[in-house]
Amino acid sequence: ITNGNDYLFNVQIIVPNDKKCVVEIKDFQKTLNNRNYYLHVAIAPTKNIDRFEWFLEKATEIGIDEITPLLCKNSERKHLKIDRLNKILQSALKQSLQYKLPKLNGLTDFKNFINNKFIGEGFIAHCENDDKKYYLKNIVKLRSRYTILIGPEGDFSLDEIENSKKNGFIPINLGKTRLRTETAGITCCQNINFLHQ
């Protein structure tokens, strides 16, 4: 079993139970993180919570280190059940045979988030026409830390886009089509993962 913090435990079940087992730890080891980058996606939760939960599940399977739900000007969902979302992350962790549970932060105001200094590279994916949008493959420095902002249905406001740029976030292009919020998040996870193969 794993504790979600990169440790793998060899255990013997002492008291079996469907809800909660008692185990005896026989041996343990720290596992090696197979990824040589750190990915933090700050994403506005979707109005339909199923879509956000799908993002959490798939991002965990692909590989992500930290997720911050963002409260933006155009956000339609303003409340989350963090306990339920953590259970989804745990299930995806087990299913994908990984040992590091992504950190799930609480719902965070967009302005507060971008005003906090981030380590590494920061990117913002938005739908506005912008002459200075880049493809991740052309600007990512490998083996780094990445923070990527994904907006709500209805996109980031113009003020949010400008303020993020002033705080060091670089506008990125995710392709020729407009993506749903959860698809944009998965696309970023997959692009970063693919660039590190």
Question: Please, which contacts does 3-12 make with residues 24 or more away whose CB atoms are closer than 8 Å?
Answer: 4/90, 4/93, 4/99, 4/100, 4/101, 5/99, 5/100, 5/101, 6/30, 6/31, 6/33, 6/99, 6/100, 7/31, 7/99, 8/99
> What's the first-to-final CA gap in the chain, in angstroms?
27
Rounded to a whole number of angstroms, the CA Rg of the chain reads 18
Residue with tokens 């083996």: 143
Q: What is the pLDDT at residue 9? A: 66
Determine the average pLDDT of the residues in 10-32.
78
Q: What is the pLDDT at residue 3? A: 64
Determine the average pLDDT of the residues in 19-26.
79
- pLDDT-based confidence at residue 132 (cuts at 50, 70, 90): confident
Please tell me the distance from the alpha carbon of residue 168 to that of residue 31, in angstroms, as a whole number: 34
Is residue 130's pLDDT more than 80?
A: no
Please tell me the distance from the alpha carbon of residue 189 to that of residue 58, in angstroms, as a whole number: 9
Q: Which CATH number fits domain 34-195: 3.40.1280.10, 3.40.309.10, 3.40.640.10, 3.30.300.20?
A: 3.40.1280.10
Q: What is the DSSP code string of 149-173?
A: EE--TT---HHHHHHHHHTTPEEE-
Q: What is the pLDDT at residue 98? A: 84
- pLDDT-based confidence at residue 15 (cuts at 50, 70, 90): confident
Supply the mean pLDDT for the chain.
91
Is residue 167's pLDDT more than 90?
A: yes
Which two tokens mark 177? Answer: 């089509």
- pLDDT-based confidence at residue 23 (cuts at 50, 70, 90): confident
Determine the average pLDDT of the residues in 162-170.
95
8 or 153, which is more confident?
A: 153
Residue with tokens 């980031």: 156
Please tell me the distance from the alpha carbon of residue 85 to that of residue 80, in angstroms, as a whole number: 8
Pick the range with the lowest mean pLDDT from 5-14, 74-83, 161-170: 5-14
pLDDT in tens, 71-100: 999 999 999 999 999 999 999 998 988 888
Please tell me the distance from the alpha carbon of residue 172 to that of residue 181, in angstroms, as a whole number: 14
Q: What is the pLDDT at residue 129? A: 86
**Domain ranges for the chain:** 1-32, 34-195
Determine the average pLDDT of the residues in 108-127.
94
